[in-house]
Chain A
């Protein structure tokens, strides 16, 4: 059974870079037809798609994050990562990783989520 697990610092300083890794177990990250995505949820607010990556390295990003975000994949470790630069308090959120089908909105499964607080 495929499982995803986010990991990374829970506290990031303003103007620094937020870095998270999603480790995939129970299946290969190089499976065709699947994308690997990052979604975030600010406290008390809704879900927001950040970006997704295909095993080949092809990426798609939300226009609002395009200048600040990089998603990469490490097939040897069965992991993919998120980097979000120049963070502010508005980037405080629970960050989820999830798998989704090519082109569809079928995000499943999801990781448990990782709370990242941007503060001094």
Chain B
């Protein structure tokens, strides 16, 4: 079981939009609409930001949105704010009834 592939880092200026990709296979991302995204600030536990590809939990800003095409899922953050600077991880359910995370992407707000 291999980790999902994410870019190591992305950056953007305040107010801009950025997109983080998460590439898997036809056995995980491509097979189900069960992709989630997590935000993790240093020293803190991950926080669920998106689930089931596009859904936002209550309390999560609508600046965060998710999408999927084939074996690749994406997280878009619009109107970047300083507080968005964090690590972001994707996760997917797999056809082996296991769960897999991406390697993580460090977002820097310039």
Report the interface size class on chain B.
Answer: 20 to 34
| Chain B residues within an 8 Å CB radius of A110 | 45-47
| Chain A residues within an 8 Å CB radius of B64 | none
A48 to B8, CA, bound (A): 16
The answer to the question of A52 belonging to the interface, with a C-beta cut-off of 8 Å to chain B, is: yes
Tally A-B pairs: CB < 8 A.
72
The answer to the question of A55 belonging to the interface, with a C-beta cut-off of 8 Å to chain B, is: no
Contact in complex: A49, B100 (CB < 8 Å): yes
Contact in complex: A107, B1 (CB < 8 Å): no
A112 to B41, CA, bound (A): 12
Shortest beta-carbon distance from B103 to chain A in Å: 5
| Chain A residues within an 8 Å CB radius of B91 | 47, 49, 105, 107
A49 to B94, CA, bound (A): 12
**Chain B 50-94 per-residue mask, 1 if CB under 8 angstroms from chain A, else 0:** 011000010000000000000000000000000000000101110
| Chain A residues within an 8 Å CB radius of B100 | 49
Smallest CB gap from A97: residue in B: B45
The answer to the question of A34 belonging to the interface, with a C-beta cut-off of 8 Å to chain B, is: no
| Chain B residues within an 8 Å CB radius of A37 | 99
Contact in complex: B46, A47 (CB < 8 Å): yes
Contact in complex: B45, A52 (CB < 8 Å): no
The answer to the question of A83 belonging to the interface, with a C-beta cut-off of 8 Å to chain B, is: no
Contact in complex: A105, B99 (CB < 8 Å): yes
The answer to the question of A68 belonging to the interface, with a C-beta cut-off of 8 Å to chain B, is: no
**Chain A 50-62 per-residue mask, 1 if CB under 8 angstroms from chain B, else 0:** 0010000000111
A60 to B97, CA, bound (A): 7
Q: Which residues of B contact A (CB under 8 A)?
A: 1, 3, 32, 34-36, 38, 45-48, 51-52, 57, 89, 91-93, 96-104
Q: Which residues of A contact B (CB under 8 A)?
A: 37, 39, 45-49, 52, 60-64, 96, 100, 103-108, 110-113
12 contacts between A and B (CB under 8 A): A47-B46, A49-B91, A49-B98, A62-B1, A62-B98, A104-B93, A105-B91, A105-B92, A106-B34, A106-B48, A107-B36, A108-B47
